[in-house]
């Protein structure tokens, strides 16, 4: 008999599904505004030049073998990743209270993070409404329950800080709160430094546990240090916390699956015990991580000349995104599209939360071959100097 006859066809992933639909579309006007991967002004993927250079060094270095990495990955990578996110002078790092494990990019870091919490800190999780859709599924996999806190005010397309503060203040003391370190996905709305400080006060008062997801360091402001502000603030204030870090976007290493998991503990002794337990989480999951991405990132992070090349490319890339924000807003204003489009330029990071309704999104997709998420999120990376006019005209048609 058919052993799997009862298996139902699953719906496609909403984000990766748009990429497939785009690929299958034969229109010459098609635009891919779904997936969050950088494109150049010719709509082509952009492998960082510094990555290409380092890769050829690695390939030609015959002293590098293919042995397994340790369960927690490449030690030099972990040290460099720690420094990038916590800063050179982090007292928590100096005190040996931070444990770090290489991870299968940001998603893998989130996965081991929530597995670890489910075992050793089983509390309710709060996530922003909205958030990156995969957060919900990852938390469910761990068996933890989650609730949402307000984040976005659709009326004025801005951050609902008061709603956020109120909802988080009502969480049970000790709850886990998932925060986007910068460049919130999908809204592109971040807290100000002052708001982060007020939030930290609330976390102290209610003994909340901060869990920072950092997938866009360098993509928010173009400055790696500024984009780590929230994490460094909470760490300096003495919080025990988690950071999940991805190099997919800021080094363009999407398919190399390179990231890190960090846990800041109360002291060195607890940190050592937690690392030993984290390894027990990882070992039956995937045994140990792949080496290639870790080797690339380590070379770039530890060689000052390569680091500078990376900085230059990263600022070029983040500048193109900011330029496309201005270009889109200007076109919408020039075409006199009804509505206020200021949020396109004030939002931060790879995405813009346009405020378009699902019906308006359908018009863009079906009539104009412009692929975006039904929640109105567009990836700014798919916009170029050549197609921005077409996009603005299509938005005008969808809106009026």
Q: Rule CB under 6 A: which residues touch ligand PLP? A: 36, 105-107, 132, 180, 185, 213, 215, 246, 248, 254, 259
Q: Residue 209 corresponds to which tokens in the numbers above? A: 């546990």
Q: Residue 355 corresponds to which tokens in the numbers above? A: 């405020």
Of 213, 227, 299, 329, catalytic = 213
Place of tokens 């337990």: 277
Cα–Cα distance, 365 to 66 (Å, whole number): 45
Q: Which is nearer to ligand PLP, 321 or 388 (CB)?
A: 321
Q: Which is nearer to ligand PLP, 258 or 327 (CB)?
A: 258
We find the least distance from the C-beta atom of residue 111 to ligand PLP, in angstroms, to be 9
Of 30, 72, 132, 190, catalytic = 132
We find the least distance from the C-beta atom of residue 56 to ligand PLP, in angstroms, to be 24
- Residues sharing a CB contact under 8 Å with residue 204, sequence separation 6 or more, in sequence order: 237, 239
- In the residue annotation, 132 being an active-site residue is answered as yes
DSSP structure class, residue 289: -
Q: Which is nearer to ligand PLP, 125 or 395 (CB)?
A: 125
We find the least distance from the C-beta atom of residue 54 to ligand PLP, in angstroms, to be 19
Q: Strand, helix or coil at 61? A: coil
We find the least distance from the C-beta atom of residue 75 to ligand PLP, in angstroms, to be 21
Of 30, 249, 299, 329, catalytic = 249
Task: Dihedral sign for Cα 148, 153, 157, 158, please.
Answer: negative
Q: How many helices (H) and strands (E) does the chain have?
A: 15, 13
Q: Which is nearer to ligand PLP, 230 or 360 (CB)?
A: 230
Torsion from C-alpha of 233, 74, 259, 123, nearest 10 degrees: -60
Q: Which is nearer to ligand PLP, 235 or 246 (CB)?
A: 246
Cα–Cα distance, 238 to 38 (Å, whole number): 35
We find the least distance from the C-beta atom of residue 149 to ligand PLP, in angstroms, to be 16
- In the residue annotation, 213 being an active-site residue is answered as yes
DSSP structure class, residue 227: G
Q: Catalytic residues, which ones?
A: 132, 213, 249
């Amino acid at each position: 008999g058919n052993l799997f006859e009862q298996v139902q066809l699953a719906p496609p992933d909403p984000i990766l599904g748009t990429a497939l639909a785009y690929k299958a579309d034969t229109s010459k006007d098609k635009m891919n505004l779904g997936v969050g991967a950088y494109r150049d002004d010719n709509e082509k993927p952009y492998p960082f030049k510094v990555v290409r250079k380092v890769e050829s060094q690695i390939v030609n270095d015959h002293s590098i073998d293919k042995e397994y990495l340790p369960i927690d990955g490449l030690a030099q990578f972990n040290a460099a990743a720690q420094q990038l996110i916590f800063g050179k002078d982090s007292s928590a790092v100096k005190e040996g209270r931070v444990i770090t494990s290489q991870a299968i990019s940001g998603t893998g870091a989130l996965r081991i993070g929530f597995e670890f919490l489910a075992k050793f800190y089983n509390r309710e999780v709060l996530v922003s409404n909205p958030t990156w859709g995969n957060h919900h599924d990852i938390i469910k996999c761990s068996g933890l329950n989650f609730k949402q806190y307000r984040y976005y005010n659709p009326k004025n397309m801005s951050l609902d800080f008061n709603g956020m503060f109120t909802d988080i203040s009502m969480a049970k003391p000790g709850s886990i709160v998932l925060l986007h370190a910068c460049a919130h996905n999908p809204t592109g709305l971040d807290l100000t430094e002052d708001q982060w400080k007020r939030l930290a006060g609330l976390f102290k008062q209610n003994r909340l546990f901060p869990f920072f997801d950092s997938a866009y360091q360098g993509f928010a402001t173009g400055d790696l240090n500024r984009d780590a502000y929230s994490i460094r603030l909470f760490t300096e204030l003495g919080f025990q916390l988690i950071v999940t870090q991805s190099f997919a976007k800021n080094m363009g290493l999407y398919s190399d699956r390179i990231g890190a998991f960090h846990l800041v503990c109360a002291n060195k002794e607890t940190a050592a015990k937690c690392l030993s337990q984290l390894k027990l989480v990882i070992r039956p999951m995937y045994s140990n991580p792949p080496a290639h991405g870790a080797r690339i990132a380590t070379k770039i992070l530890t060689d000052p000349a390569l680091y500078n090349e990376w900085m230059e490319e990263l600022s070029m890339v983040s500048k193109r995104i900011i330029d496309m924000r201005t270009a889109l807003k200007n076109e919408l204003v020039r075409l006199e599209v009804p509505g206020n489009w200021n949020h396109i330029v004030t939002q931060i990071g790879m995405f813009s939360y346009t405020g378009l309704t699902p019906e308006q999104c359908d018009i863009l997709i079906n009539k104009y071959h412009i692929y975006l998420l039904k929640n109105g999120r567009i990836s700014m990376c798919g916009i170029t100097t050549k197609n921005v006019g077409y996009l603005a005209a299509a938005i005008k048609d969808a809106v009026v």
